């Protein structure tokens, strides 16, 4: 799973979901095929890893995969049935906030049919609407 090696602060505030469309990372830079987000949302490191495994499984581990998102925001929570107070809870998982139009994954050195099959399988692992893009 993807987690940062070092962060300036241990914990983060909740923040908000970004509005509008992505200005950066909205075009294919490395591969010929990609998965693009159609709506804003949050992706956990588990969801990103699950989609990556799905892509590599469907492409039979041929070709190259680039992950264009990184979960760098910690999400903390307190354990179940714990009274209020006594500080903020421990970090449970890491998320990445995604704007609409952002490229999530890129693929190359595989056929178009394999890339489309991998996209369909990987998009079912993600909580946001996505589309298949190619050069």
Q: Which CATH number goes with the domain that contains 100?
A: 3.90.1170.10
**Which residues does 5 contact at the CB level (< 8 Å), separation at least 6?**
none
Residue 26 domain-assigned (yes or no): no
Mean pLDDT score of the chain, rounded to an integer?
95
Mean pLDDT of 26-48: 96
Residue 2 domain-assigned (yes or no): no
Residue 93 CA: distances (Å) to CA of 15, 43, 47, 101, 126: 15, 11, 11, 24, 16
Q: How many domains does the chain have?
A: 1
CA nearest to 122, candidates 134, 111, 106: 106
Residue 116 domain-assigned (yes or no): yes
Residue 12 domain-assigned (yes or no): no
Residue 23 domain-assigned (yes or no): no
Q: Which residues pair with 103 in a beta bridge?
A: 36
Domain enclosing residue 109, as ranges: 33-76+87-134
Residue 39 domain-assigned (yes or no): yes
pLDDT band at 1 (very low <50, low <70, confident <90, very high): confident
Residue 125 domain-assigned (yes or no): yes
The predicted model scores a pTM of 0.91
pLDDT band at 71 (very low <50, low <70, confident <90, very high): very high
pLDDT, one tens digit per residue, over 2-26 is: 999 999 999 999 999 989 999 999 9
Residue 59 domain-assigned (yes or no): yes
| Rounded-to-integer distance, Cα 122 and Cα 130, Å | 10
10 Å CB burial of residue 7 (0-12, 13-18, 19+) is middle
Q: Which residues pair with 35 in a beta bridge?
A: 105, 132
| Rounded-to-integer distance, Cα 8 and Cα 28, Å | 30
What sign for the dihedral angle of Cα 121, 123, 124, 125? positive
Tokens 């394999």 -> residue: 114
């Amino acid at each position: 799973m993807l987690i940062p090696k070092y962060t300036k602060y241990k914990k983060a505030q909740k923040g908000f979901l970004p509005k509008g469309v992505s200005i950066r990372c909205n075009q294919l830079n490395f591969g010929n095929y990609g998965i693009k987000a159609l709506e804003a949302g949050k992706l956990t490191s588990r969801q990103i890893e699950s989609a990556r495994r799905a892509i590599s499984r469907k492409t039979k581990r041929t070709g190259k995969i680039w992950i264009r998102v990184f979960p760098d925001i910690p999400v903390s929570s307190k354990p179940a049935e714990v009274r209020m107070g006594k500080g903020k809870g421990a970090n449970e998982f890491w998320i990445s906030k995604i704007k609409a139009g952002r490229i999530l994954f890129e693929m190359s050195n595989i056929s178009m049919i394999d890339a489309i099959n991998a996209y369909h399988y990987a998009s079912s692992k993600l909580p946001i609407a996505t589309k298949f893009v190619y050069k």
